[in-house]
Amino acid sequence: MPGTKISQRIRTLKLAHDCAGLGARIRTIHHLTGLRPRELLYLLFNAHAQPPCGRAPNSREWYHNANLLQRIEASIVIANFRRMRLLGFPAAEALVGAYRYYQSIYRPPPRISFDRAFDLAAHTEGLWIAKLASFRLASCTRCGSEFLDALAGADTM
């Protein structure tokens, strides 16, 4: 089919642009798109718009010290991410969609950054930066609500 490579490239660049707009670090965008960090820096940022920097989130460490509101909001992001995955959305697009939904229901500033959402999704599905899942969505036995939970025996570091 003519144009498939260019169409794929356009989708990848759009995904990178969307991630940057949601506050993603270069490292996160690189993992989601496969684009080289130098290329991302060149395409998405300039002297007036610098990329976010600092230490990337480690959700396996963070989760055990997170407060109730952070855990609730993390659960909302990941529950919607999983729903979109079950509907057949590719992981990166599902993450962007789930995070946009999260932003639409909570006032700024968000308790869960896009980078944190990426890290949680990665460690829930064993994707991108995680070889194995260390989180899961569990369901309340009373009401059926889904919540994020650490897997028993999962490595915490």
Please write the tens of the pLDDT for every residue from 87-131: 999 999 999 999 999 999 998 899 999 999 999 999 999 999 999
Q: Which are the contacts of 30, defined by CB distance < 8 A and separation ≥ 6?
A: 36, 37, 40
Q: For 137, phi and psi rounded to 5 degrees?
A: -95, 125
| HSE toward the beta carbon, residue 52, CA cutoff 13 A | 17
pLDDT at res. 3: 67
152 confidence band (pLDDT: 50, 70, 90)? low
User: Which residue stretches of the chain are H helix?
Assistant: 4-21, 26-33, 37-44, 59-62, 68-86, 91-105, 114-125
Least confident of 34-48, 65-79, 116-130: 34-48
